[in-house]
């Protein structure tokens, strides 16, 4: 699978918008990503694969933390780290790169 920098930045921007101190559950990120242009031609299974791959990349880069849930992988909490915020501060996309997702 190839890394998609725009998708990775979209995930970081989604996490930045969250007001809950515990971040977002993985299934909430999947739902939000499913509303974006990145998922237009993906099946649900493909979307899970792409999401999980990019979350692992972001975690290995130190941009997100993933806290395991006893309820299963889909409920793992994902949150932005200090380094993730720093990355967005330096590499924030232009205004035309917009993430308009309504949280449930």
pTM: 0.82
State the CATH number of the domain containing residue 78. 1.10.10.10
In this predicted structure, what is the pLDDT of residue 101?
Answer: 44
Q: What is the mean pLDDT of residues 70-82?
A: 86
Q: Name the domain count of the chain.
A: 1
Residue 97 has pLDDT above 90, yes or no: no
| 97 falls within a domain | no
HEC string for the chain: CCCCHHHHHHHHHHHHHCCCCCCEEHHHHHHHHHCCHHHCCCCHHHHHHHHHHHHHHHHHCCCEEEECCCCCHHHCEEEECHHHHHHHHHHCCCCCCCCCCCCC
Instruction: Residue 79: give the domain boundaries.
Output: 5-91
Residue 102 has pLDDT above 50, yes or no: no
Residue 31 lies in a domain: yes
Return the pLDDT at 95.
60
Q: Which residue has better confidence, 21 or 88? A: 88
Domain for residue 103, yes or no? no
The answer for residues whose C-beta is within 8 angstroms of residue 77's C-beta and 6 or more apart is 22, 23, 24, 25, 26, 66, 67, 69
The pLDDT tens digits of the residues spanning 18-71 come to 887 778 888 888 888 877 776 777 888 888 899 999 999 999 999 999 988 888
Please tell me the predicted confidence (pLDDT) of residue 35.
78
């Amino acid at each position: 699978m190839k890394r998609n920098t725009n998708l990775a930045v979209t995930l970081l921007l989604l996490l930045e918008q969250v007001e809950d101190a515990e971040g977002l559950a993985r299934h909430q990120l999947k739902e939000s990503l499913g509303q974006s242009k990145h998922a237009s031609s993906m099946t649900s299974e493909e979307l899970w694969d792409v999401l999980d791959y990019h979350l692992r990349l972001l975690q290995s880069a130190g941009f997100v933390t993933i806290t395991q849930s006893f309820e299963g992988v889909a409920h793992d909490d994902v949150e932005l780290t200090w380094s993730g915020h720093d990355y967005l501060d330096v590499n924030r996309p232009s205004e035309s790169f917009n993430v308009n997702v309504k949280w449930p």
